[in-house]
Structure 1
Amino acid sequence: MRVLFVCSGNICRSPLGAQVLVARLGRDAPGFTVESAGTIAEDGAPMDAAAARQSVRLGGDPSAHGSRYLTEAIAAGADLVLTAERSHRAAVVSLAPRAAKRAFTIKQFSRVLEALEPADLAGVATAEQLVERVARLRGTVPPPADPADDDVDDPYRRSEATHVRVADEIGAALGVVADALRAVR
């Protein structure tokens, strides 16, 4: 299964998400291809130092990261797209309209997973089926009162405290996602 994280510059949120998901998947990580890209990224930039520190804190490994620009092929090739913001999801769907069913913000995917009952996931045996089921049921889960609550703030060039808060939000959401993915492996 190919999981794609998307943010703007691909130097903070999306590589952090990819690295933390790999860490949370643990021994099941080899069953997934986890990557990231950015809607305005320059190819090859290293991860932002503050974001990299948060990745390490949460068990990730930022050493091999090089940013890359989101293309239609990258978006279309993912089985699950997790974006930092709703605007990034819109950019993915604009590039690859068929990805609409597989694209969520990180927090939205986690929120929907948490709201589902075990019976909602009956018969789900693969990660791909999990994504399809969450996509089908996302409309049955009430949205947040403020739609922006499904977005992850951009910490770039902001305080260390902001980086910690953003990393903790991503980490909490991805704990739920990793648990669900591991359960169907």
Structure 2
Amino acid sequence: MTARPARILTVCTGNICRSPFLERALQAELDRSWGAGAVEVASAGTGALAGHGMEAQARTRLEAAGYDASGFVARHLEEGMVADADLVLTATRAHIGRVTTLHPRALRRVFAFREFAQLVAAVPVGELDAPADSAREHLVRTVRLAAAERGMVPSLPAAEADVVDPYRREPEVFDAMADQIRASLPVVVRALSRP
């Protein structure tokens, strides 16, 4: 019997800028590491513009970073999505509350994206490099190790913990969003990739 894929859910507000950028970047990087189908990355919004494609300026920056935005459609966050996810990465700390209100038992596996990067960076490398039989086994262990670092490392200031919301704002804010995600992405990809 084949192991079920590891499942990651990324969450923002409208599901047209930050969470799709994260979804597509993580999916591409983890496919490179584990092979297609081993990890499924999806996204949703707490106040989604359901049915819309990715916002044009966010899409431009995603594609400039080398990732594919084609076929993306925004959707509302639902309880079942949270329940099924092995890891939920949110754009901001405030989104954590919205996610865990839907499914309180998910609290240990819900993190603001930039804080998750800080936490996994604090995990001793040898612990992240332990052999795993599947992507899901590795991801679940990594989430447990990251959760254990909560309270052990200093909390990030809000400006460093949250990914800025660029919706209906000037191009420079879209640049800042993309830069914030790209700055934390390598650490997260390294932690979630095949040991």
Q: Please indicate, yes or no, whether the TM-score normalized by the shorter chain is above 0.5.
A: yes
* Matching residue's letter, 2:179: D
Letter in 1 for 2:78: T
For structure 1, the residue ranges without an aligned partner over 5 or more in a row are none
Aligned pair partner of 1:33 in 28, 34, 40: 40
Aligned residues with identical type, % of pairs: 41
The one-letter code sitting in structure 2 at the alignment partner of 1:43 is: A
Deviates more, 1:116-125 or 1:55-64: 116-125
Q: Which of structure 1's runs of 4+ aligned residues deviate more than 3 A?
A: 119-125
1:155 pairs with 2:166: yes
1:142 aligns with 2:154: yes
3-state secondary structure, aligned to 1:70: coil
Indicate how the Cα distance of structure 1 residues 29 and 89 shifts in structure 2: closer, same or farther if over 3 A, else same.
farther
- Cα pair distance change 1:60/1:112, threshold 3 Å: same
Alignment match of 1:85 (pick from 60, 80, 92)? 92
Which secondary structure does the structure 1 equivalent of 2:14 belong to? coil
Q: Secondary structure at the match of 1:140?
A: coil
Correspondence 1:1-185 to 2 at 5 A: 1-27=6-32, 28=34, 30=36, 31-119=38-126, 121=128, 123=130, 125=132, 126-144=138-156, 146-184=157-195
Say which SS state the counterpart of residue 151 (structure 2) adopts.
helix
* Distance in 2 of aligned mates of 1:168 and 1:157: 18
Distance 1:26 1:122, change over 3 A: closer
Superposed displacement of residue 107, structure 1: 0.1
Is 2:128–2:191's contact at 8 Å kept on the other side of the alignment?
A: no
1:117 Cα shift?
Answer: 2.4
* 2:189 alignment partner AA: A
TM-score, normalisation: structure 1? 0.92
Query: Displacement, 1:29?
Result: 5.1
Is the 1:19–1:61 Cα contact (8 Å) retained in structure 2?
yes
Root-mean-square deviation over aligned CA pairs: 1.6
Deviations 1:111-165 (A, max 9, x none): 1111222255475731111111111222211112x23421111011112221112
Please give the secondary structure, in 1, of the residue aligned with 2:89: strand
- Measured at CA, do residues 34 and 122 of structure 1 come closer, stay the same or move farther in structure 2, by a change above 3 Å? closer
- TM-score normalised over the length of structure 2: 0.87
Gaps of 5+ in 2: 1-5, 133-137
